[in-house]
């Protein structure tokens, strides 16, 4: 069963076709990667899927439902989770509160019952906190629960974002360069975490430059170049594709 479908998707900025008639589909519960040289249109594609940009034409479907025209927060409610290239963390709250923030749509956010401290709100929030603590343990941040994000290392913040995305119980999680800025031991931990994610049934899509990570965790890879889809397939197929090699290393006569 396919979870995410990208259908003939294009985005034109002035004269530039940043995304040019891209189609692919991603199978539920698997780890997938979108790769390509700098400027290939990976970030544009991600922004189209998450709703930061609206496409010029084409469609993006999650679990069969079109995401086009819906604001980001609605897409999140439909099961889309994401992390950012540089961690986007609220520094005015603790680590665990950042994770709890990800459960926003599952909680009652009306003003009046909150101001009157209705029991239902308090108890739901307590459960939310317990679940956030579990998620932090799951991503390996159990010792940072009440820590202020400013005091946490960069690698921990990247995992904190993953925990926040998971708090929204997503069907699909988009990880934007999760390995960027990480050292070798942290990358190994990340690789394990990504495998754990797909085992738990979450569909994972990585946008990543680190080929070692991409090749080791992905089941399916989509290669972009100049906004177009250049190739897709299993790591072995993509690795041996002459056009992919040419795009990365320059075309040999």
Partner 1 sequence: MTNMNEAVAPAQSAPIATPPALKLKADSLRRLGPVVALGLAIALVPLIAGSAYHMHMAVMIGIHAVIAISLNLLVGYAGQISLGHAGFMAIGAYGTAILSARYGWPPLLGLGVSSIAAGLLAFAVGRPILRLKGYYLAMATLGLGMIIYLVISNEVWLTGGPDGMSLSVLTVFGIELDSAGKWYWIVGAILLLTYWMARNLVDAPIGRALRALEGPDALAASAGIDISWNKVRIFAVSAALTALMGGVGALYSGFITPKSADFMQSIELILMVILGGMGSVFGAVVGAGIVTMLPQVLTSLEHYESLVYGVILILVMVFMPKGLVPTTAHLIRKFRR
Stretch binding partner 1 (CB under 8 A), from 6-14, 26-34, 152-160, 244-252: 152-160
Residue 68 engages partner 1 in binding (rule: CB under 8 A): no
Burial of 174 (0-12, 13-18, 19+ CB in 10 A): buried
Output the smallest distance, CB 169 to partner 1, in A: 10
Residue 97 engages partner 1 in binding (rule: CB under 8 A): yes
Residue 72 engages partner 1 in binding (rule: CB under 8 A): yes
Q: What does the per-residue mask of binding to partner 1 show for 120-139, with x meaning CB under 8 A?
A: -xx-xx--x-----------
Please answer whether residues 94 and 146 qualify as being in contact, where contact means their C-beta atoms are separated by less than 8 angstroms: yes
Output the smallest distance, CB 123 to partner 1, in A: 12
Residues from 182 through 201 that contact partner 1 (CB under 8 A): 183
Residue 215 engages partner 1 in binding (rule: CB under 8 A): no
Output the smallest distance, CB 155 to partner 1, in A: 7
Region of 201 (left: φ > 0; alpha: ψ -120 to 50; beta: rest) is: left
Please answer whether residues 91 and 148 qualify as being in contact, where contact means their C-beta atoms are separated by less than 8 angstroms: yes
Helix (H, G, I), strand (E, B) or coil at 63: coil
Output the smallest distance, CB 42 to partner 1, in A: 16
One residue of 12, 107, 180, 211 binding partner 1 per CB under 8 A: 107
Kind plus residue range of the DSSP H or E element containing 6: strand 2-13
One residue of 36, 41, 55, 155 binding partner 1 per CB under 8 A: 155
Q: Which residue has the tokens 């800025």?
A: 181
Q: What is the side-by-side strand order in the sheet with 80-82?
A: 80-82, 172-176, 203-207, 31-35, 220-225, 228-233
Give how many residues touch partner 1 by CB under 8 A: 53
Q: Which residue has the tokens 């496409």?
A: 55
CA distance 188 to 122: 38
Nearer to partner 1, 14 or 150 (CB): 150
Stretch binding partner 1 (CB under 8 A), from 29-37, 60-68, 103-111, 204-212: 103-111
Stretch binding partner 1 (CB under 8 A), from 9-17, 22-30, 35-43, 96-104: 96-104
Q: Which residue has the tokens 């025209």?
A: 69
> Of 147, 43, 57, whose CA–CA distance to 96 is shortest?
147
Residue 145 engages partner 1 in binding (rule: CB under 8 A): yes
> For residue 103, what are the contacts with CB-CB under 8 A and spacing of at least 6?
128, 131, 132, 167, 168
Residues that bind partner 1 (CB under 8 A): 50-52, 71-73, 76-77, 81-82, 84, 88-93, 97, 100-105, 107-111, 114-117, 121-122, 124-125, 128, 143-147, 151-156, 164-165, 168, 183
């Amino acid at each position: 069963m396919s979870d995410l479908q990208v259908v003939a998707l294009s985005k034109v900025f002035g004269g530039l076709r940043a995304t040019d008639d891209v189609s692919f589909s991603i199978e539920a519960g698997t780890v997938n990667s979108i790769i390509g040289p700098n400027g290939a249109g990976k970030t544009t594609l991600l922004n189209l899927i998450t709703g930061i940009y609206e496409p010029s034409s084409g469609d993006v479907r999650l679990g069969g439902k079109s995401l086009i025209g819906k604001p980001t927060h609605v897409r999140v409610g439909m099961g889309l989770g994401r992390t950012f290239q540089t961690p986007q963390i609220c520094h005015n709250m603790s680590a665990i509160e950042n994770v709890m923030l990800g459960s926003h749509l599952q909680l009652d956010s009306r003003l009046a019952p909150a101001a009157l401290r209705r029991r239902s709100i308090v108890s739901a929030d307590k459960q939310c906190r317990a679940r956030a603590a579990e998620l932090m343990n799951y991503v390996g941040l159990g010792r940072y629960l009440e820590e202020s994000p400013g005091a946490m290392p960069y690698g921990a913040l990247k995992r904190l974002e993953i925990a926040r995305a998971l708090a929204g119980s997503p069907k699909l999680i988009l990880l934007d360069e999760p390995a960027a800025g990480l050292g070798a031991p942290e990358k190994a931990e990340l690789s394990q975490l990504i495998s754990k994610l797909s085992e738990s049934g979450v569909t994972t899509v990585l946008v990543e430059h680190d080929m070692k990570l991409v090749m080791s965790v992905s089941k399916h890879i989509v290669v972009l170049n100049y906004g177009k889809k250049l190739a897709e397939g299993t790591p072995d197929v993509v690795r041996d594709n002459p056009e992919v090699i040419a795009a990365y290393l320059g075309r040999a006569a």
